[in-house]
Amino acid sequence: MKAGTTPLDLMNARMEAAHIRPDLQESLRQCVAIHTSPAPGLLIGAFMADFALELLGADPAKQKIFSVCETPKCAPDALQVIARSTTGNGRLKIIPIGKFAITVNAAADGPTAEAVRVFIDMKKLRNFPVIESWYANSPSYDKKTMDESLQQQIFRAGRDILSYEWVRVNIFGRSKWKPVTCSVCGEPVPDYLAEGDRCGACGSMKYCEKI
Ligand SMILES: [Zn+2]
């Protein structure tokens, strides 16, 4: 790294060298800012989200986009930034299946919607051995020496490691609820989240103790 050259400078140069669209470059930078690092899965997730929106012909600035992410790692942040499907706005569901795949649809009336599922295609990955070795968590992948070529390959590959299929998804909407007061701590929770007469924190989801 030359003096004064930041990881972001390097990333920008690599994106330029790979002829990535300027608007997608900006999206990638926003993803990195939120994620706080240019993690490989985040960058691939950004290409996935961008591809899915184009296939849907959907614009997240003008319509609500619903997403499912099949991994909790990295890719959800790309969906939050690019598709504006967030856990907070209720339009991002993370299902920890452990596949690098996303399913995206535009808001629809009715109980189901047509969606596009974008995933890493193992056959296509063969053309990009560094990404393949990283993705397989292979012992041959050496983070110290291969991170640079991994990022270069990810930018060069873009969508070339992805495939897609059209699927039907159930719409996940807001459920109706009533408050239930926990018999232990006295705090209210929605009835569909209560565990009998207790809240989750006084039940199976206890995560802290008072000090
Ligand atoms: Zn409680």
Whether residue 128 sits in one domain with residue 45: yes
Q: What CATH code is carried by the domain that includes residue 11? A: 3.30.1330.130
Whether residue 191 sits in one domain with residue 159: no
CA of 90 from ligand 1 middle (Å) equals 24
Whether residue 182 sits in one domain with residue 119: no
What is the Cα–Cα distance from 51 to 173, expressed in whole angstroms?
25
Interior/surface letters 45-70, b for 16+ CB within 10 angstroms, e for the rest: bbbbbbbbbeebebebeeebbbbbbb
Q: Is residue 100 situated within a structural domain?
A: yes
Domain extent for 185 = 175-211
Give the pairing type, strands 179-181 and 188-190.
antiparallel
CA of 75 from ligand 1 middle (Å) equals 33
What is the Cα–Cα distance from 148 to 125, expressed in whole angstroms?
18
Whether residue 51 sits in one domain with residue 23: yes
Percent of the chain with pLDDT over 90: 88
- The DSSP code for 13 is H
The whole-angstrom distance between residue 127's C-alpha and the CA centroid of its chain comes to 24
Structural domain total, the chain = 2
What is the Cα–Cα distance from 137 to 7, expressed in whole angstroms?
23
Q: Is residue 39 situated within a structural domain?
A: yes
Q: Extract the tokens encoding 70.
A: 């099949």
- The DSSP code for 83 is I
What stretch of H or E contains 165?
strand 162-170
Q: pLDDT digit string (tens) for 39-95?
A: 999 999 999 999 999 999 999 999 999 999 999 999 999 999 999 999 999 999 999
What is residue 171's predicted lDDT score, i.e. its pLDDT?
Answer: 82
CA of 178 from ligand 1 middle (Å) equals 16
The total number of residues shown for the chain amounts to 211
Backbone angles phi, psi at 189, to 5 degrees: -140, 155
Q: pLDDT digit string (tens) for 7-51?
A: 899 999 999 999 999 999 999 999 999 999 999 999 999 999 999
β-sheet bridge partners, residue 163: 119
Q: pLDDT digit string (tens) for 115-144?
A: 999 999 999 999 999 999 999 999 999 888
CA of 182 from ligand 1 middle (Å) equals 5
